[in-house]
Amino acid sequence: MARVPVLAVDGENLDHAKLTMDYLVEAYEPRLAPADAGGWYDVQAWANILDAGLRTPVSLLGWNTVTLPAMGGGGTQGIQ
């Protein structure tokens, strides 16, 4: 069974990381991100760089440590 981080707010479960981050920025004071358009753009650009740069390595790590062994495959010995 997969597990994902969840933020529970007023009985609602927020389980999409990007949307949860946007919610947290807007929901509380002081703001957790810049209020000006240029600063907000920089935050979003940085989040996209992290997402694009980490998505594949994290997916591959999960595949090799969880999915492949569950399918009877070789496990982590191929990871270097």
* Residue 25 and residue 50 in one domain: no
The per-residue pLDDT for range 64-74, each reduced to its tens digit, is: 888 888 888 76
Q: In the chain, how many domains are there?
A: 2
pLDDT digits (tens, 9 = 90+) for 35-62: 899 998 998 898 888 778 877 887 888 8
Could you give the maximum distance between any two Cα atoms of the chain, in Å? 52
28 and 49, same structural domain?
no
Query: Are residues 40 and 12 located together in one domain of the fold?
Result: no
With tokens 């991100």, the residue in question is: 33
68 lies in the same domain as 56: yes
pTM for this prediction: 0.51
| C-alpha torsion sign, points 68, 71, 73, 76 | positive
pLDDT tens per residue, range 31-42: 888 889 999 899
Indicate whether 51 and 78 sit together in one domain.
Answer: yes
Q: Comparing C-alpha atoms, which of 17, 7, 25 is closest to residue 55?
A: 17
**Are both 78 and 44 inside the same structural domain?**
yes
Which domain, by its residues, includes 74? 36-80
d(CA 61, CA 72): 16
Same domain flag for 40 and 5: no
